[in-house]
Amino acid sequence: MVQALQRKLTSVDVSDPQLYQDDTWRPLFEQLRRDDPVHYCEASRFGPYWSVTRYDDIFAAELDHENYSSSSELGGIQVADQPKGREISNFIRMDPPGHTAQRRTVAPIVAPSNLANFEPLIRKRTADVLDALPRNEIFDWAERVSTDLTNMMLTTLFDFPWEDRMKLSWWSDVAIANVDSPDAVVHSETERYDELARMGDYFRKLWDVRANASPTFDLVSMLAHSEATRHLQPREFIGTMALLIVGGNDTTRNSMSGGLVALVENPGQFELVRARRELLPNLVSEIIRYHTPVLHMRRTARHDTELAGRRIGKGDKVVMWYISGNRDETKIDRADEFIIDRAKPRQHLAFGAGIHRCVGDRLAEQQIRILWEEILNRDLRFEITGAPQRLYSNFIRGIRTLPGKIVN
């Protein structure tokens, strides 16, 4: 009977980007978690793949890098394989030991002591952005708040020329774009690669200057002076810069937008955090869990193996759906609800787990916390005046535009 049900479910394809643009993904994942939690999709536009949909199974696969590889050579970290001849590599698309050495190079910039140094700057910028917003007039929260704040933080992390800072947001959009979408910023893999090559040329000029100067505490200088990264090959150089831009940008900006949606849709929770400011750290974790800005990460099976009773073959794609694991009611009570006073607010998979856990998770949390602290300091109240325009993507749960206004 179980095998018959599994065969019946083979047509369930949760890799369709339209599900996430239309925000209609919930019933399919609920079905898979209940009936076939490690599910084999025989046919999709990305080829056959396994969907891992429950929290504990995702966690187990994340920790098992002996059996499940992130390597670019085996396909990388998305259900879509990298295009032949346009592959780029970086440390998130590596296994140990290469991954370990390169990750260690950039980790100090988000160490606790440095986050404390960032706090006054982030707070000042956040205050300035909020104070500049119009009152009782519609504006785009995604552009005026989420993108602007994360863009300024990226500029600081790279010590990037301030006058060119919007290039960072553009390159992030290029790197994550689904080229099949009519409104994509690039429309072919060749166009994407050419744009990222131009990004590489820009960063190479910064790199050369800093490589020939004394080390400074920014990402470009740190990479240029580290033995693990100073000799990156051209495609790995492009891939590393793109990774750091996307990693420092998309989790935070989309959680900022998703957080506003969640709080406006759940006004009781908004009032709860107004009354109990000590719940702000919980609010941040719940926003990130509930929105889940990275929808999935993919691994490739190194060997024949087994996960939750399903036999996975060497070379198979194994897709860990964070968006589903974060809604797993066998692990998270009332997982489909937005609840800021949860007993275990940090119990979520939005940052991944194990050796590939997001290196900038604490910085993302810090930026979101300060945003809502400053909103509460001003007692701002919001109305969303139109439906969010969501990204056509099965990888990033992005919000392109979010029209709203301040109503007090």
Residue 114 belongs to domain with CATH number: 1.10.630.10
**Terminal Cα distance for the chain, rounded:** 58
CA distance linking residue 9 with residue 270, whole number of Å: 39
What pLDDT, on a 0 to 100 scale, did the predictor assign at position 1? 47
Domain range enclosing 141:
2-406
Question: What interhelical angle do 166-176 and 148-158 show, nearest 10?
Answer: 100
Q: What is the DSSP letter of 146?
A: I
Q: What digits encode the pLDDT tens for the residues 189-235?
A: 999 999 999 999 999 999 999 999 999 999 999 999 999 999 999 98
Block residue for tokens 């990298």: 82
43 exposed, middle or buried (CB, 10 Å; 0-12, 13-18, 19+)? exposed
The count of domains in the chain is: 1
Q: Where does residue 334 fall: left (phi above 0), alpha (psi -120 to 50 degrees), or beta otherwise?
A: left
- Rounded Cα distance between 292 and 38, Å, is 20
pTM of the model: 0.94
Q: Which two tokens stand for residue 174?
A: 């290029």
pLDDT in tens, 317-373: 999 999 999 999 999 999 999 999 999 999 999 999 988 888 899 999 999 999 999
Specify the pLDDT at position 7: 54
Question: Is residue 6 classed as helix, strand or coil in its secondary structure?
Answer: helix
- Burial label, 144 (beta-carbon count in 10 A; 0-12, 13-18, 19+): middle
